[in-house]
Structures are given as structure tokens and as C-alpha cells.
Chain A
């Protein structure tokens, strides 16, 4: 009870004192962080996510070996003091490759999420503000994209745009001689980003549209409108902060699903190509030998499973913390 009355009084102050807005926001966030840290599963998720980000950032420096370095005397060996998680079928250190894989997965997840959020917010805003016709058209487009399984569509796109993208990069290299375009490894990533972003934006567009429609009915928006605040200012000052909670939750979940999609594409041989390390292609190249070299499959598979579980737990905790009213009712 005391919490809600505090909020109300703060809201009243915010109307009068323009500078008070920041203070109110902070207390709201602190409240959410408190709720997040009270949830044991989300703390586990937070730790796992931090571990992932640290290994993605510092992986190459922590890793005892390079991701291509072969130890030909120790091929497909069990874990040992020299190679903490053993070596793979051609003698590369598995621990190092898992760390490099973390970098690949995080990179893809971050870029895909950023690209799809940008597209999603734009389309969602068009649907929310552009009137009934725009809403109908964008709704149809979203339905169409969603009627093909995400993985299949992403794979189809990745396969189709790969060659044109490579040709394009080669042409640029021929013309400009820019060394960046001589190397095609990052083009794999670019192709994967494209495919994944194309299948993940509809979720955001729907979310943003829904938020715009539901928040527009709120009394404080109506109040702001009646005092003559402009649409843009309402969107920035009122809609955005209030829609942020659900968006952050969706971000977390789609971060993990982007990672899974990347590994799936790499598993199918469309995404990140060997010798680049991706958990997906590591699983793929060893799945045939699971019965006699189980650790080669188990290590990347367990890593991927633990990481996605961790991020999902974090997302669930964030959902409870940021949207307390919709507690566990998705």
C-alpha cells in the first residue's frame, strides 16, 4: 500500500516539478532491481549472462590457444591439464574454441537484436500511429513472415543472399582495394545477421504496436494530450519509458533465441563456417561420433544449453521485476 501511495505522490510532484522526473524514474528502476535480485533463478541467470559477456569480450585473451591451433600429437583427447576440456577431432583445444564460440554467439545475438529492434520499432510505430490502413498492411506482412518457420526462412535467406553478398564484397575489393573486403569470414556473419534479423523483427513490431495501442488509453497520456503536449513529446516522455519494461524483457528472450538460431544455421552448415568457432558447427562436426567421443559434442551442447537457460531465467526474472502486474501470466 505504502508503495503505491508513494508512486501517486511522486507522480503528482512530477507534474509540477519538471526536474523531478529523473528522481522518480530512478526509484522505479531501483524497485525493479530489488525485485530482480530477490529471485534466485534470475540471479543464476544474471551470473551466467555476465559470464557469457565476459568470455565474449575477453575470450581471445583468456583462451590458452588460438581457435585454429592444432596439437597434432593430442588429437581427440579427453580433458587433461594441458587441454582443460580436451581436444577435438583435429587436435584443437576445445576450451579455447568454446570461448571463441561465445564471441561468435554473442556478436550475432547483439547485432541481430539491434537490427531487428530498429526494424520492429519503425514498423510498430507505423502500425500504431499510421492509422487503420497502415495497421492492416503491417499486420498482414507480419502474419506472412510468421507463417514460415523462423529457422527455415532464415536459412532460405542466408542461402540466397550469401552469393550476392560475396560477389558484392569482391567487387568492392576490386574497385577500392580496401583490405576489409578481402576477408570473407565476416561476410558469413553478415549473412546470418540478415537472415536472423528478417525473421525476428515481427515480434518487436507486434510488441511496440500493442504498447502504443494500450498505453494510448492510459489517463496520464490523455491528460498530457488535453494540456496540449505534442505527439512526439508524449511518445518520448511517456510512451517510451512505459514501454521500456516489456521491450527489455523481449530483448532478453530474443537474445537467447538469436543465439540458438545462429547455432542452428551453423549446425546446418549455412551460418558460421569452420574453422571459425560456433557452438553450432562444433556440435555438427562431432555429432556423428557422440558414442565414442561424447565430450566433443557434450561440451558445446552443454554450453549452449546452459547459456540459453541462463538468459531465459534472467528474462523471466526481468519480466517479474519490470512488469509486476503481469506476474507470471504470459
Chain B
């Protein structure tokens, strides 16, 4: 087990470093020049020649004239100390922005993941048990359809439907904790994104287990259908569903980018959206890295948990 963990880590860590490298390289390419930003406050006080000299000196002082690799390692060093830089718009500490909003998004995401699994697994089972009937087609076709319909399309349409047309709710806005009625719609929308993956995976897994000998034996013994499903099918079919956790995490992160501002939720996604809208480089980098860490971690956890759930996977 120890070596297996080590091996998985040996995959996850270089992946993360490569993500850092890509992010850093893109920033080097990017229009963001911190020195030019600083110089705007001296606008008009220095003539052009002196200004260039000052800029050059500041660049030297901050090591911006060093080679790419020197800068990269220094940047990594700062990251290790938890320094994600200062945002351009509003001069705020990026790490603090993320730390402050993350718990809210984490709760939303957790709720979304729970709703996705609670909806997806029964739907997938149902589709598999009624394979090739209209019910199967409706479930698979319906959720497949939603696979790519983005949050910023779904959210306004559902808002118009529920608030204006059906008039069954008030405009859900803001955040007062997870257990509030106004969280229902955003969490539901968040959960719809990764739902198709869960449904399909469950369906495929149940279909596979369905033809196993032990299920046939259970049927021949005359066990109740629901007992077979709960005891024999679900237990084995749910194992592969765990692998969808990475997709779920990605769907939730991307979903929250659009969702937060529409529902005025002060979350991680809102920080990301504001960052992109304002071309706020340090914020964009911070958000990208935190998202990548979340996804890599989720996949690592899946990899580590999987052998326990499915002993057939050999740990080497």
C-alpha cells in the first residue's frame, strides 16, 4: 500500500508542477507587467528617459530581468509560502480572497455532489433495469442533452421559468448558509452539470453486473427484485461510479464560476469570474492553480480509495 501511494503521488506531483509551469509560462507571455502597473502612480513626474531608467532598476530589484528558470523557481518558492500575489483590481491578497470564499463554494459543491449522486445513481439504475425502453431513452437522452448546456444558459432560463412564469419562488439571491431555501435552485443547477456522467457510469456498471452469475443465482433463489438490486447489484456497480468524482469536481468548479454572480453568492467562482472580467492576472493564476489542485487531489483520492473498494485491483 505504501508503495502504491508513493506511485500515485509520483504521478500527481509532476502533473501539478507541469500545471504550474504552464500557468507561469502563460503569465510571462501575458500583457500583465507589474512594473508598468507601479509606474502609473508616477505618471507625469518623470520624463521619459528617467522613467525608463527607473523601470529598469525596479525590474532588476524584483528580479524580473533574471532568466526564465530563475524566475520560475523563485515564484514556486513564494507559492510554497502561500504567497499568491496581490490582485490588480483592488490590491487585495489573492490567497486571502480565495480562502475567504472557498468554504462557501465548498459547501455548495458538496451539496451539489450529494444531489448529483442521489439523483444520478437511481436514474442510472432505472435506465439500466428498463434497458431499451422509452424510460431508458428518456433518462439517457435527457441527461445527455444537459451534458453541454452551460450554467449561464440554464440559470436564467430556470429563473424566468420559476420566478416569472410559474411564480413559485422569490428571486434567490445571496448566501445565508447552506440550509436555506434560496440555495435549492443554485445547488440543483450545479448538480445538473456532472449528472450525465454519473447516470451513464451507473447505467453501464449496473448493466455489466446484471449479467453476472451471482445475480442470476440470486434471481433463481427467488429473492425480491429490490433486494437483489440493493444487496448484489448496487454494491458492485457503485465501485466504478467513484471514478466519476474527478469529473464531478471539475463540473462543480466550472459551474460555480458562472453561478456565483448570477445568484450573488460570495464564492470561489465569483472571484474567478471577476478575475477573468478584469483581466486580473494574479487572481486568474491563483484560481487556476487552486482548481487544478482540487482536481488532482480528487483524482489522487479516487486512486487511493479504489483498491479498498475493489480488491480485484491489485496494489503493486
User: A: which residues have CB within 8 A of B?
Assistant: 41, 140, 143-144, 147-153, 155-157, 159-164, 253, 256-257, 260, 263-264, 267-270, 280, 283-284, 287, 290-291, 294, 297-298, 301-302, 304-305, 308-309, 312-313, 316, 328-330
Contact = CB atoms under 8 A, between A and B. Distances in A.
Interface string B11-24: 10011101100110
B234 to A, nearest CB: 19
Interface string B120-151: 00000000000010000100110011011110
Nearest to A268: B276
B151 to A, nearest CB: 9
Contacts of A290: 156, 159-160
A309 B26 CA distance: 34
A162 B140 CA distance: 39
Nearest to A295: B160
A126 to B, nearest CB: 18
B277 A269 contact: yes
Contacts of B152: 263-264, 267, 280, 283-284, 287, 301
Contact of B287 (A143, A152, A298): A152
B1 interface: no
B296 interface: yes
A158 to B, nearest CB: 9
Given A152-B288, A159-B284, A283-B156, A312 B147 contact: yes
Interface string B145-177: 101111011101101100110000001000000
Given A144-B19, A159-B284, A269-B276, A151 B148 contact: no
Nearest to A39: B137
B150 A152 contact: no
Contacts, number: 143
Nearest to A328: B140
A230 B289 CA distance: 46
A265 B129 CA distance: 40
Contacts of B30: 159-160, 163
A263 to B, nearest CB: 7
Interface of B: 11, 14-16, 18-19, 22-23, 26-27, 29-31, 132, 137, 140-141, 144-145, 147-150, 152-154, 156-157, 159-160, 163-164, 171, 200, 204, 207, 250, 253-254, 257-258, 262, 272-273, 276-277, 279, 281, 284-285, 287-288, 291-292, 295-296, 299
Interface majority SS (helix, strand, loop, mixed), chain A: helix
B295 A147 contact: yes
Contacts of A41: 137, 141
A149 B15 contact: no
Given A140-B15, A260-B149, 8 more contacts: A144-B19, A152-B257, A270-B276, A287-B152, A301-B153, A302-B157, A313-B141, A313-B145
Given A144-B22, A256-B148, A312-B144, A153 B160 contact: no
Given A270-B276, A290-B156, A301-B153, A153 B288 contact: yes
A152 B272 contact: yes
A151 B163 contact: no
A159 B23 CA distance: 12
Contact of B164 (A159, A264, A294): A294
Contacts of B14: 140
A155 B204 CA distance: 33
A147 B156 contact: no
Contacts of B27: 160
A292 B45 CA distance: 49
Contacts of A144: 15, 18-19, 22
A268 B283 CA distance: 14
A256 B140 CA distance: 18
Contacts of A294: 156, 160, 164
Given A157-B26, A163-B31, A329-B207, A151 B254 contact: yes
Contact of B291 (A140, A149, A298, A309): A149
A298 B296 contact: no
